[in-house]
Amino acid sequence: MKIEEIFQQASSDKAVIAALKEKSVTVPAWGGAKGLQKEYDPTLHPVMNRALYPDVVHNDGSLEAVTRITIDLQRLAVRRMSELVCGFSSTSFTLCRISMAWSSGLPVRGSL
């Protein structure tokens, strides 16, 4: 539903606020077995599980270690999307915030 439709159909301010609070998108949980953290953190990807991808034992008894390479594309995508939304990188934002606080004489909290 568009915002214009909400304002036209609502009879009071409380009805508008209630309609705006309704969500049409289901946001998955961050942690847990089916959470997004397993997708975001490359060390939790299935290729890092030695039970799923065991080392190869040859007939002569030699052991060949499986090369486990993870690519952090999810984190890169999040970083780039936030740069597009905010107009600059998160590191630049942090540096800007720190320099503004320092120049105004406020105590600087946080780190890079």
* Share above pLDDT 70 across residues of the chain, in percent, rounded to a whole number: 77
Q: Structural domain boundaries of the chain? A: 1-29, 31-70, 72-112
d(CA 83, CA 88): 5
In this prediction, residue 59 carries a pLDDT of: 95
Summarize pLDDT for 4-22 with one digit per residue, the tens: 888 888 788 888 888 888 8
The model's pTM is: 0.50
Helices (H) and strands (E) in the chain, counts: 5, 2
Confidence at residue 80, expressed as pLDDT on a 0 to 100 scale: 84
